[in-house]
Amino acid sequence: MRQEEQSPPEHNHELLSQHFKEQEEVMQKIYRTGARSYFESLPDLVKAFSPHDRWIRCIDDRTPGGYHSAGSGILRKEEEVLASFRAAQVQGITSHDGCGAAAMYAQKNSLTSNPDEYGKRWSEQIAGKLGVPYKHIEISKPHNARICYYDGTRRFNFSNVDSLLPGFIVSRRIQDSATSINEAEITANIALGDHGFGKLITEDRPFVVVAIGQSEKELEEFKKELTPTLSNFGNKVKIDGFVAPK
């Protein structure tokens, strides 16, 4: 079953269309030549795989850097989240404005207050149990992603390289396949829905989930595990990928 965010405030559709067009040249290269050819052609790609602060951020395209988990894990069991974050040696937890995962949590549990408050409460609670700092990220702009990076390296950060498009980031390396696949599905729903580019995403201009493996074998495994779920979107979602530079 597809999961949706709550209705957002009105987008500036003219601005949204402008952002879509600004990404078109790069997206057309990815459509034509494939993700591997495009990403490997970038001379500074290795900069996107740099050590980071190991803070947990949402999968949201507006919260780059660090590790990523939808709503800092709010849609998962607490004990599972704590175990995976400890294993990843997480050093901080964040929440953010307009968190779709927090909205999904509120809807699932029939909660009526501002969903962001549940997101803040959850993240602060997890930070406290891990003994790490917590901070809230203020965001005022809409989603601006035509890509989801399905990262198997724990190191990827698109904001380190100017030529990389903004995108959702699913940290596949720090969580199991079922959780990661579900998060990739969430990003597709956002991109194709009222919170993202919506009807601008078409079969000719699909949303792309870019798997990033540490080896050819791992890349193929990631693409294979994503296929059954993402195929439900038809040709409006494309699975592609590349192997991270050494």
Residue by residue, pLDDT tens for the chain (246 residues) are: 333 343 344 456 788 899 999 999 999 999 999 999 999 999 999 999 998 899 999 999 999 999 999 999 999 999 999 999 999 999 999 999 999 899 999 999 999 889 999 999 999 999 999 999 999 999 878 778 999 999 999 999 999 999 999 999 999 999 999 999 999 999 999 999 887 899 999 999 999 999 999 999 999 999 999 999 999 999 999 999 999 998
pLDDT number for residue 2: 39
Residue 95: how many other CB atoms lie within 10 Å? 29
> Taking the model in full, what pTM does it have?
0.93
Element (H, E) at 65: none
- How many residues comprise the chain? 246
- List residues bridging with 123 in a β-sheet: none
Task: Name the phi and psi angles at 150, rounded to 5.
Answer: -95, 85
Query: Are residues 86 and 130 in contact, defined by beta-carbon separation less than 8 angstroms?
Result: yes
Amino acid at 24: E
b/e code 37-72 from CB counts within 10 Å (16+ = b): ebbeeeeebeebbeebebbbbbbbbbbbbbbbbbbb
